[in-house]
Chains A and B, each alone.
Chain A
Amino acid sequence: MAAQLLNGQGFKEVYNFKGGMNSWHGLTATGPVELSLDLIRGEETPTEMIEIAFGLEGALQKFYLTVGETVTDQSTADLLKKLAAIEEKHQQMLLKEYDQLTETPAHLANQLPEILEGGFRFSEFLSQNRSVMQTISGVLDLALMLETQALDLYLRFALKTKEVSTKSVLYTLADQEKAHLASLGELAETQTSSSPLL
C-alpha cells in the first residue's frame, strides 16, 4: 500500500519489500529512533563528526582488548585481538579523512568516550557481556550485533544532520561499517555454518 502511494506520487523507483521483516533473517537493528541520537547535536561539521566516530571506534577497540585480557581460550583471545585491530584500522582511515579536511594535524587520539560504537555504555556493556564473550561464537555474535547497531546509528546520525558534507561523511562511515559486517560475516561462516547476514 505504501509502495503504491509513493509510486502514484511521482517517485521514480519504488520497491516493495515482499514479506517484510517477517521474511528477514539477516542482521537486524533494534531500539527506538532516538536511541543514542543525543550523542550528536545535528550541526556538526565533517571534522567534528569524524572526531566523534574516532572516539566511538576507539572505545570499541578498547572494549575488545579489555575482554581479551580475561579470556582463557586462546583462539577466542586471538579473535578479540583481530577485532580490536579492525577498529584500529578504521581509526587510521578516519585520520586520513580528517587530514584531508583540515590543515591542523589530527589530535584525536586521547579522548576516548564512555560510549562504544553503536551507542552502548562501556562499563555497563562490559559487565553484561563479559560472560558470553568467552567463546568464538559468543564473541562473533556480539561483534555482529555491535556493528549492526553502529551502521544503524551512523545512518540515524545522517538523518539528524543538516550539513550535506557531514551527511556524506556519515554515509562513508556507514559504507565502511557495511564492509566490516561483510568480513565479520565471512569470519562467522568459517566458524559456524550460518547463512549470509546482510
Chain B
Amino acid sequence: MFWKRLFATVPSLEADEIRDFFARHREGTYDLIDVRQPGEYEKGHLPGARLIPLPELANVLDQLDRDKPIIVY
C-alpha cells in the first residue's frame, strides 16, 4: 500500500559511517545530494555533493540514477 512506502523508514548514516562509505566506494558509483539552499552549500558541503535544493528535487528525479546508492542531506 502507498502509505506504507511513504512512511517506510530510510536508513540513516552518521558522520562516521559517511566517512566509511566514502572510503569503501569509488567515485561515480554513488550519488551525494545536498538538498539545502545554495547559500548553505556555498558555506560548506561534502566534497562532490550535488546541489539540488529540496523544492527542485521532485523535478529532476529523471536525471538521477535509481540503481546507484544515494546519500542525501
Contacts and interface: CB of A to CB of B under 8 A. Distances in A.
Contacts of B33: 2
Contacts of A1: 54
Given A2-B33, A9-B61, A10-B66, A31 B22 contact: no
B27 A175 contact: yes
A12 interface: yes
Interface string A1-42: 111111111111111111111011111111111000000000
Given A16-B10, A168-B28, A175-B27, A159 B15 contact: no
B65 to A, nearest CB: 9
Contacts of A198: 19, 22-23, 47
Contacts, number: 140
Name, among A1, A17, A20, A31, the residue most crowded by chain B CB atoms within 10 Å (CB to CB): A17
B24 to A, nearest CB: 11
Interface string B7-21: 110111111001101
Nearest to A1: B54
B22 A178 contact: yes
Contact of B48 (A23, A30, A152): A152
A26 B54 contact: no
Interface residues of A, number: 49
Nearest to B13: A15
B73 A17 contact: yes
Contacts of B40: 21
B45 A11 contact: no
Contacts of A30: 42-45
A61 to B, nearest CB: 21
Contacts of B19: 26, 196, 198
Contacts of B13: 15-18
A84 interface: no
A188 interface: no
B26 A29 contact: no
A18 B35 contact: no
Contact of B71 (A10, A17, A156, A174): A17
A122 interface: no
Contacts of B43: 30
6 contacts: A17-B13, A18-B14, A19-B15, A21-B44, A21-B45, A174-B27
Q: What 10 A-B pairs are tightest by C-beta distance, nearest first?
A: A171-B28, A17-B73, A155-B48, A18-B12, A13-B69, A174-B27, A3-B10, A20-B73, A171-B27, A28-B44
